[in-house]
Amino acid sequence: MNNKNNNNRFTKILFWNIRGLNSQEKWDAIRDKISESACQVLCIQETKRESFDYFYIKRFCPKSLDQFAFFPSVGASGGLLTVWNSSIFDGSIVQMNSYAITVKLACKLDNKTFHVTNIYGPANLA
Amino acid sequence: MRNPENRNKPGGDTGEMNMFNELISDLDLVDIPFSGRNFSWSNMQADPLLVKLDWVFTNSSWTLSHPATFVQPLSRPISDHIPYVLHIGTHIPKGCMFRFESFWVEHPGFMDIVKLHWDNSPVYANAAKNLSSKLKQVRSGLRKWSKSLSNLNKLIFNCNWVLQLLDGLEDQRILSRLENSFRRLVKHHLSQLLDSKRKY
């Protein structure tokens, strides 16, 4: 939209607080938004899942989004997931705690490096 | 929340807002606004409470090195938060590669287009040149044809556009009953379109 007259690429990072991704409905919605945005990085908040593996990621990610880092939910609350396209980015986890995952992404096309921090702050901290 | 305008109804904890703002300035963070939208979360009621609960921050050195950075909000098919895309301008030129989609072959009009362009290519004495010219013709023909093909993508784009418009309107005022049911209708229609796209 805004980049119609620009001949350079945009790095696109999709963020979404999904409120739990344990259903086909959520998987479909994420897949559609990935396709709509043509993102190379995906940051999900409130996964409400304790673990992820490659096969689970494939339920909602296309082939190109193939590397990931996650922080498990505590029971049914919170949970963070960052997924990136490894043919474009070399990614490594810099830091991780219950509220944030920081991933360092080195772009293979222009050798530029940046950090993406995926943060979720629960609404009612006691 | 950073200030009372991050909410469409009165309320919010001033102490927490101050803490948030102090932290942002202490860490030298730069708030990237969501283009055209004030709020990112809704309690999904008819007279909704809307709040900006989602934030994107960079820092001042980033602003200088990456001036072409903005956040594009997307329509919300599910969840009470909107999805949004951070765009970061790079200096990598866009590729203009020709991509052949395998589903084209199954499309009824496909062979006709190929034949039309294959047969209409200018004839050269040199066989290699002849072949390459035919391939070039077919490629450009298919490229044009494929654009008219994807009506579905256009419809999906339009639905998302309308949904965003209504969500944006809701930022400013309560939606009427008619507008609300129209939004439900469009959402339903969009989910059907997306279903058929997935099957494809």
pLDDT digits (tens, 9 = 90+) for B63-100: 999 999 999 999 998 899 999 999 999 888 877 778 78
pTM: 0.82
- Residue B151 backbone phi and psi in degrees, to 5: -60, -35
A9 within 8 A of A21, measured Cβ to Cβ: no
For residue B3, what are its two tokens?
């200030």
How many whole angstroms separate alpha carbon A36 and alpha carbon B157?
Answer: 8
B15 contact A CB<8A: no
Contact criterion met (CB < 8 Å) for B83 and A33: yes
Six-digit token pair at A75? 């029971």
Name the CATH code of domain A13-119 (choices 3.30.300.160, 3.40.1350.10, 3.60.10.10, 3.40.1530.20): 3.60.10.10
Rg of chain A over Cα atoms, rounded to whole angstroms, equals: 15
For A115, residues 6+ apart whose C-beta sits below 8 A from its C-beta are A94, A102, A103, A104, A105
d(CA B189, CA B163): 11
Q: What is the token pair recorded at A91?
A: 């990614």
Contacts of B54 in chain A (CB under 8 A): 15, 17
In angstroms, rounded to a whole number, what is the distance separating the alpha carbons of residues A70 and A83? 9
What's the rounded Cα separation, in Å, for the pair A34 and A52? 18
User: Using a CB-CB distance cutoff of 8 angstroms, which residues of chain B are in contact with residue A82?
Assistant: none
pLDDT digits (tens, 9 = 90+) for A78-99: 999 999 999 999 999 999 988 9
- Among A115, A51, A44, which residue's Cα sits nearest to residue A80? A44
As for the ipTM of the complex, it is: 0.92
Interface of B with A in 127-166 (CB under 8 A): 156, 160
Rounded Cα–Cα distance for residues B25 and B27 (Å):
5
DSSP assignment, residue B28?
Answer: T
Query: What are the backbone angles phi and psi of residue B74, rounded to the nearest 5°?
Result: -110, 165
Percent of chain B with pLDDT over 90: 66
Is residue A119's pLDDT more than 90? yes
Q: Where are the domains of chain A?
A: 13-119
